[in-house]
Amino acid sequence: MPMVKISIQALSLQYADGTESLRGINLDIHANAITVLFGPAGGGKSSLLRCLNRLNDLTEVRTLAGRILVDGQDILDPKTDVIALRRKVGMVFARPVVLPFSIRGNLTYGLELAGERRKSRLDEAVETSLRQVALWDEVKDRLDDPAIALSGGQQQRLCLARVLALRPEVILLDEPTSGLDPISTGKVEASLQELKRNHTIILVPHSIQQAARVADYAAFFLQGELIEYAPGADLFTAPRDKRTGDYITGRFG
Ligand SMILES: Nc1ncnc2c1ncn2[C@@H]1O[C@H](COP(=O)(O)OP(=O)(O)OP(=O)(O)O)[C@@H](O)[C@H]1O
Ligand SMILES: [Mg+2]
């Protein structure tokens, strides 16, 4: 059996305005695999990702019930060290926001904040994280150029590299290739296939096609409910629930 990295148990989330964005979600996320959360707009996918590194602490929430065990520890426990959690569980957003620094500076910023001063260690992190996202060869001769001068696809990979430089165990990706051309998208997807050897990856895809391409496991969300969860190879070829089937064949959504 694959190892369970994150166990989501009876998770319910209601925002301050009364919107129920997650209803009784039970989901075990496996280590060293890509788990895809997909479904129509407003289904609760981003809300769930935000719960996994406590980003919902920043929004107004009426109720948040249930448990999220990461390596067996309930991260919703008020005693959780949220800074440490966010190093362990890193998040990459849909729209890349590079920092107004050089390419190198984007990658060393987080480590320097965390107290790393050794140049050898910082240089190593820059090269390793850029190689992990297949960006090293494209930028190695201009690491001190402003990051903003990179193309959109390169900026997206730089943002992923920035998260990787902090060596998270879990990577959350919310539509990381929305707005990218197919070639850049292919590069990001190939990077994820490498990264899953050593990381747990949870991805909200930008299309059903992407979901089917990358999912080791796939979870279909509809209006705050988890409708179906299965290995990707099963869910996209033989969905058990009619609503899943209708959605993946384009009959709604
Ligand atoms: N900060 C918030 N305050 C109030 N309601 C919110 C907030 N964020 C999300 N919601 C609501 O919660 C529900 C789930 O939203 P969420 O963004 O998690 O869906 P999603 O599956 O990521 O959708 P999309 O595919 O459009 O990104 C929606 O009804 C949304 O309007
Ligand atoms: Mg979303």
By residue count, the chain amounts to: 253
- Residue among 11, 47, 64, 225 whose CB has most ligand 1 atoms within 8 A, to mutate: 47
Query: In the predicted model, is pLDDT for residue 107 greater than 60?
Result: yes
Query: In the predicted model, is pLDDT for residue 227 greater than 90?
Result: yes
Give the residues surrounding ligand 1 with Cβ less than 6 Å away: 15, 17, 19, 21, 41-47, 59
Domain that holds residue 27: 4-95+168-248
Confidence class for position 204, pLDDT limits 50, 70, 90 = very high
- Residue among 21, 55, 60 whose CB has most ligand 1 atoms within 8 A, to mutate: 21
Confidence class for position 44, pLDDT limits 50, 70, 90 = very high
CATH number at residue 220: 3.40.50.300
135 touches 161 (CB < 8 A) = yes
For residue 204, give both structure tokens: 């909200």
Confidence class for position 1, pLDDT limits 50, 70, 90 = low
Query: In the predicted model, is pLDDT for residue 2 greater than 80?
Result: no
Among the bound ligands, the one closest to the CA of 220: 1
Residue nearest to ligand 1 atom 16, measured at CA: 44
More confident residue, 134 or 102: 102
Residue nearest to ligand 1 atom 3, measured at CA: 15
Confirm whether 241 is domain-assigned. yes
Confirm whether 151 is domain-assigned. no
Confidence class for position 169, pLDDT limits 50, 70, 90 = very high
pLDDT for residue 153: 85
Residue nearest to ligand 1 atom 30, measured at CA: 42
Confirm whether 157 is domain-assigned. no
Query: In the predicted model, is pLDDT for residue 253 greater than 70?
Result: no
Nearest to 54 by CA among 34, 80, 29: 80
Q: In percent, how much of the chain has pLDDT > 90?
A: 82
Query: In the predicted model, is pLDDT for residue 134 greater than 90?
Result: no
Domain count, the chain: 1
Q: Quickly list H helices, the chain.
A: 45-52, 82-88, 103-113, 119-132, 136-139, 152-164, 182-195, 208-214, 232-235, 242-248
Ligand 2 centroid, distance to 127 Cα (angstroms): 31
Confirm whether 162 is domain-assigned. no
Confidence class for position 50, pLDDT limits 50, 70, 90 = very high
pTM: 0.93
Atom of ligand 1 nearest to the CA of 221: 21
Among the bound ligands, the one closest to the CA of 41: 1
Residue nearest to ligand 1 atom 9, measured at CA: 47
Q: Report how far residue 30's alpha carbon sits from residue 28's, in angstroms, rounded to the nearest whole number.
A: 6
Q: Report how far residue 169's alpha carbon sits from residue 82's, in angstroms, rounded to the nearest whole number.
A: 15
Confirm whether 117 is domain-assigned. no
pLDDT, mean of residues 95-106: 92
Confirm whether 187 is domain-assigned. yes
pLDDT, mean of residues 196-206: 96
pLDDT for residue 65: 95
Atom of ligand 1 nearest to the CA of 48: 18
Ligand 2 centroid, distance to 56 Cα (angstroms): 13
SS3 188: helix
Which residues on neighbouring strands pair with residue 229, listed in sequence order?
A: 219
Confidence class for position 250, pLDDT limits 50, 70, 90 = confident
Neighbours of ion ligand 2 (CB under 5 A): 46
Confirm whether 19 is domain-assigned. yes
Confirm whether 122 is domain-assigned. no
Ligand 1 centroid, distance to 62 Cα (angstroms): 14
